[in-house]
Amino acid sequence: MTIALKHPFGIRFKLVFLSSFLLVIPWLGYRYILEMEDYLRRGQEQVVLGTARALATALNERPELFDEGTFGPTRRSENLYVYPIYYALGLDDNTLNDWGDYQRYELSYGRANTIATPLNPQSEFSRYYHNDESLNFKLLVGEHNRFLYAYINVVDNQLVYRSPDSVSIHRSDFLQISMTAPDGELMRYVVSPRGPEFIYAYEIGSDLRDIGSLRHEERIVGQWYENLDGYTIELRMPLTMLGSSLGFAVYDVDDPATRNVTAVVATSNVNDIERLGALQRPTPEIDKIVEGMGYTDSRIQVVDRTRRVLLSVGDIQNATGLSLTLPEDAEDGNRYLRILEDRVLHPIYYQILTKPSNDFIDELYVGSRLEGAHLSSALGGVAQTQFRTINEDQTRILEAAYPIYADGEIMGAVVVDQNMNGLRTFRNQAMETLFNTILGVMLLVAFGLFFFASRISTRIRALRNQAENIIDDNGRLKNTIIATTSSDEIGDLSRSFYNMVERLGQYTSYLENMSSRLSHELRTPVTVVRSSLENLGMVSQDKESSVYIQRAEEGISRLNLILTNMSEATRLEQMLQTSEKEKIDLVKVLAGCVEGYRLAYPDAVIDSDLEGCVMINGVPEYIAQLMDKLIANAVEFSYDKKPITVFCRAIKDRAVVRVTNYGPYLPEKMKGRLFDSMISVRPQEKQREPHLGMGLHIARLVAEFHQGQIRADNIKEYEGVAITLVIPMLD
Amino acid sequence: MARRIAIVEDEAAIRENYADVLRKQGYDVQTFANRREAMRAFDLRLPNLAIIDIGLENEIDGGFALCQSLRSMSETLPIIFLTARDNDFDTVSGLRMGADDYLTKDISLPHLSARIAALFRRQDALNQPTSPENLLQREKLVLDIGRLTIQWDGHAVPLTVTEFWMVHALVKFPGHVKSRQVLMQESKIFVDGSTITSHVKRIRKKFMQVAPEFDCIETVYGMGYRWNTQMIGGGDVGIDGSMASDAGGGDGGGGGD
């Protein structure tokens, strides 16, 4: 048997390897998504540019909008100029840092701005008005993202807060905010804290002493905090609250005992709707137009020729362009799947993908002037879009600038910005879905293929094992193949193997039975000849012819013996099938046999080496028959006067019987086939009697009937042959 | 009047050779090549003895069927199977069909005629009183050499002629080992050793049907068999002896109906 070289790469490995080409599919998906992102980006570019064009068109031919004088910061103290601010302001940081550069636009209000007239002729305050040099404040009003921001930095030598149990709001330092509502009505609010705190604004009625008419206005938010010289108020209110006028008044109470207002500094007469200062927003017209566009998903800026930003709507952080509504399926979806996705998959994915953050700072805008190639191009008359990457590659901003013309002159430009985070997020989601799907499909396919390949290789291996087990070491058929019913090629192979083995089996059994059949067929003509000869012998009295008749009869007898021997094995096999085993002591049987052989072969020296009690399950007659054959064989080949030894022992759980004789060695190549039918190694001169080589074949049949094995070996120590029979013992 | 012997054998040469020999010995011999012909003749008149081959022309087991039919016609008609089939299975089948003997074609013609003569003698002897000089007694065993019958403890043991001669050979010298070769010669058959073994087994079984504790035939492995006079069990013989005694012929009779 040659040991088949194990292939290092089995079917399983090959299939899995081939299936790895499926990885092209996720790559194609990845390419597709990138392509789509590109298209979407171009689309976004066009949309942004379109927005800019539309706005620019609306602003065309209106040079007055860009008139420096109309909208510039004014020195008139009653009116408040609202600066556009380009970044979000924080109200909760106790400092004015985030106002940054704008702080240089703050205006001071002091003695000159003290309202000399009684705030309210009917009020009791009227008699207290006098100037107080110590009270003054600096004010800055800005606008960002549809909110009005303001800070008031008050210098006050004596801070007097509302006492904790006081309900009235006018017996401490307080701030009054007056404005006209969009419907033109005068609205007055008071911020009168009990200490440095987040401001709590009250809307007041006609008399601020009337506690009953106080109503909390929650749209005004901000903080009151102290500083070295006095206090600062930062506040914010939505622009929708505001009409055309706005004014602030700071009331000062210096004596905590009397708690009378000693000074008031105001931006204008905050109690008179006619004299309330105007709210000057830089570009109300443009604002309206932009508002009219109703576009909030971008940051829109209008820039004049000097690149000064006249208007900025929207903030770039939220201008994602694409609005994405994420399906909130966290509750519906499988929790474990989501955990898997969040904990395992996403960290892997985001090794490759960049997650855009909205926490970027647009550094392009220093001060209130806008930079950039797109703007330069637009101011040069050519609309342009550009992508800008900020925040270390994480965020891309799409910017489009479109020129505004008036009288054939470029008056300014509309700049529309969008960050690409929306698109990026969209892409990432698509990628996640793609990766998840691909991962699932790949796992499924891989497992499927692996299972399939395992199944196939298992089946093939099973078939191979069956095929290897068909023929034993002596080349005899011992098993058949179980034909499978599966209809595929392996099933086909198995069936054709089965057919092959069947045919081979038929042929083998034909060969094995040939001697028996032959003897059977020959018997009839032999009988014809013999009976004829016998008849002849009875009839003929001739002496000469009777000699020939006798010779012929001898020949016939020999022929008969041959025929009988030929069918002996078959007969034995048939008998073995119906025999029942019994419990026998092998040593006793062998001892009897040896006694018999000593009588039967008086010339031979037969030694016995039998010990103990070796119980086996067997048929003593057949064991004796086997021994007959072995002894006959040994006697035949033994050198004269050399002993033949019969040995029997229980070795482990097996009975070992060995018959050894001095005699010529067996030819090496015959050793394995010695026990096959019709194999004889006798030299020609030994052929005194007909020999068909059935003896050892019968011995093997008997050995196999007892689940034993028989083998022949040459003896190393001396020239001789040992035939060993091993039979399993009874428990 | 000459005894009539029917030979049913499809091989003409063998058939005629046997017929010639038997005719020379004074028998009236009818020959048939197949079962149909034989049955037609047997329906008219039964022979005194029938020699039947098992395979008849195209009927593989035609001989068995013929044997059954004959046995149903006559309980006592001696029937001999003479066939080329020498396996145990066919032997057992043949004897169960009610045949008196089962011979293979190896047998020589003198042996065959001796056997035929023995069967006729047995048949004749059944009708005559037993002559004491022909009796051989070994304890419970009584052999009637003239009638070729055996009794064990007064019960008949239905042995074929071959088996009778084997037992006779063993019993003649109790305690002596008889090799298979000797038994073959004594029973005038020529087979191989394993066939002797199965014959002996069959003899033991027949005795054990009469007396379950029978173990007088001892196997001496490697040598042969001997008759053991020391009966260990002894004693009573079961009543199933009579039932067992017709088991040999009963099957054939029943089957023919």
pLDDT greater than 80 at residue A659: yes
The whole-number pLDDT of residue B193 equals 66
Least trusted range by pLDDT, from A441-450, A643-652, B242-251: B242-251
Judge whether B77 and B46 are in contact, CB under 8 Å: yes
At residue A72, does pLDDT exceed 60? no
DSSP states along A544-599: HHHHHHHHHHHHHHHHHHHHHHHHHHHHHHHHHHH---EEEEHHHHHHHHHHHHHH
**Lowest mean per-residue pLDDT among A472-486, B44-58, B193-207, B241-255:** B241-255
Q: How does DSSP assign A298-332, residue by residue? A: SEEEEEETT-BEEEEES-TTT--SS-------TTT
Q: In this predicted structure, which of A168-172, A302-306, A313-317 has the lowest mean pLDDT?
A: A313-317
Over residues B46-69, mean pLDDT? 89
Based on the number of CB atoms within 10 Å of its own CB, is A183 exposed (0-12), middle (13-18) or buried (19 or more)? exposed
pLDDT higher than threshold 80 for residue B27: yes
Query: Would residue B6 be called left, alpha or beta, if left means φ above 0 and alpha means ψ between -120 and 50 degrees?
Result: beta
Q: What are phi and psi of A225, to 5 degrees?
A: -140, 155
Percentage of the residues of chain A whose pLDDT score is greater than 90? 2
pLDDT in tens, A544-603: 888 888 888 888 888 887 777 777 777 777 778 777 888 888 888 888 888 888 877 888
Answer with the residue of higher pLDDT: B154 or A6. B154
Look at A592 and B223 and tell me if their CB atoms are within 8 Å.
yes
- Nearest CB partner across the interface for B109, out of A531, A574, A590: A531
Residue ranges of B 211-240 with Cβ closer than 8 A to chain A = 219-224
| A92 has pLDDT over 50 | yes
Subunit contact B17:A589, Cβ cutoff 8 A: no
CB burial of residue A174 (10 Å; 0-12, 13-18, 19+): buried
How does pLDDT run across B151-175, given as a tens digit for each residue?
Answer: 888 888 888 888 888 888 888 888 8
Digit-coded pLDDT (tens) for A250-290: 888 888 887 877 777 878 777 777 777 777 776 666 666 76
Percent pLDDT > 70 in chain A is: 82
Residue in this structure with the two tokens 């298979």, named with its chain if needed: B180
CA dist B81 and A671 (Å) reads 43
Distance from CA of A627 to the nearest CA of B (A): 8
Token output for A623: 């064991």
Take residue B18 and report the two structure tokens written for it.
């046997």
User: In B, which residues are within 8 Å of A590 by CB distance?
Assistant: 221
Our CA-based measurement puts residue A11 at a distance from the nearest CA of chain B, in whole angstroms, of: 53
Q: Which of A145-149, A429-433, A451-455, B26-30 has the highest mean pLDDT?
A: B26-30
For B177, name the nearest residue in chain A, comparing CA atoms only: A596
**Residue B33's CB: how many other CB atoms inside 10 A?**
17
For residue A117, is pLDDT > 60? no
Which amino acid is residue B222, in one-letter code?
Answer: G
pLDDT at residue number A678: 65
DSSP bridge pairs for B129: none
With the CA atoms of A114, A119, A121 and A124 taken in that order, what torsion angle do they form, in degrees rounded to the nearest 10?
Answer: -90
User: Is the pTM value of this prediction over 0.80?
Assistant: no
pLDDT value of position A176: 87
User: How many Cβ atoms sit within 10 Å of the Cβ of residue B62?
Assistant: 21
Reported ipTM: 0.72
CB contact under 8 A, B108 and A524: no
Task: Give the per-residue pLDDT at A22.
Answer: 77
**Spatial CA neighbour of A264 closest among A176, A140, A153, A160:** A176
DSSP assigned state of B83: E
Cα B37 to chain center, whole Å? 25
A322-360 pLDDT, tens per residue? Answer: 655 555 554 556 777 777 777 777 787 777 776 666 666
pLDDT at site B190: 65
C-alpha distance from residue B242 to each of B57, B183, B201, B217, B245 (Å): 39, 28, 20, 22, 5
Question: Residues A570, A516: contact at Cβ < 8 Å?
Answer: yes
- Given the structure tokens 């009331």, which residue do they identify? A251
Question: Is A592 within 8 Å of B220 when comparing Cβ atoms?
Answer: yes
Residue type, A653: D
Q: Which residues contact B19 (CB under 8 A, 6 or more apart)?
A: B7, B29, B31
**Given an 8 Å threshold on Cβ–Cβ distance, is B108 in contact with A575?**
no
CB A428 within 8 A of CB A353: yes
Comparing A16-25, A60-69, A225-234, A520-529, which segment has the lowest mean pLDDT?
A60-69
Q: pLDDT at position A683, please?
A: 65
Say if CB A428 and CB A355 are below 8 A apart.
yes
Query: How confident is the model over B207-221, as pLDDT tens digits?
Result: 888 888 888 888 877
Query: Does residue A20 or residue A689 have the better pLDDT?
Result: A20
Is B222 within 8 Å of A575 when comparing Cβ atoms? no
CB contact under 8 A, A571 and B106: no
A579 at B interface, C-beta within 8 A: no
Minimal C-alpha gap between B48 and chain A (Å): 23
pLDDT band at B178 (very low <50, low <70, confident <90, very high): confident
pLDDT: which is higher, A711 or B191: A711
User: A657: closest CA among A617, A614, A620?
Assistant: A614
A575, A590, A620 member nearest B198 (Cβ):
A575
pLDDT beyond 50 at A389? yes
Give yes or no for residue B247 having a pLDDT over 50. no
Average pLDDT for residues B35-51, to the nearest whole number?
A: 91
pLDDT at A123 over 60: no
Chain A residues within 8 A of B21 when measuring between CB atoms: 531, 534-535, 538
CA-to-CA distance for A349 and A345, rounded, in angstroms?
A: 6
pLDDT value at position B7? 93
Instruction: Tell which of B221, B225, B226 to mutate to test the A interface (max A CBs under 10 Å).
Output: B221
Sign of CA dihedral A675, B184, B179, B226: positive
Closest CA to A181 of A240, A236, A125, A242: A242
For residue A610, the SS3 value is strand
Chain pair A-B, CB pairs under 8 angstroms: 111
- Tell me what the pLDDT averaged over chain A comes to: 78
DSSP labels for A11-65?
Answer: HHHHHHHHHGGGGHHHHHHHHHHHHHHHHHHHHHHHHHHHHHHHHHHHHTT-GGG
What is the rounded distance in angstroms from the CA atom of residue B200 to the CA atom of residue B217?
Answer: 8
Q: Assess contact for B91 and B133: CB atoms under 8 A.
A: no
Separation CA B55–CA B83 (nearest Å): 8
In this prediction, residue A315 carries a pLDDT of: 67
Residue count of chain A: 731
Tell me, what's the pLDDT at A369? Answer: 60
- pLDDT at residue A74, rounded to an integer: 45
Q: Kindly report the backbone phi and psi dihedral angles of residue A413, in degrees, each rounded to the nearest multiple of 5, phi listed first.
A: -150, 150
Q: What percent of chain B has pLDDT over 90?
A: 11
Cβ neighbors of A295 (< 8 A, separation 6 or more) are: A51
All residues at 6 or more sequence positions from A283 whose CB lies less than 8 Å from its CB, including other chains:
A65, A71, A84, A302, A310, A311
Q: Where are the alpha helices (DSSP H) in A471-542?
A: 489-539
Give the integer Cα–Cα distance in Å for A659 and A720. Answer: 11
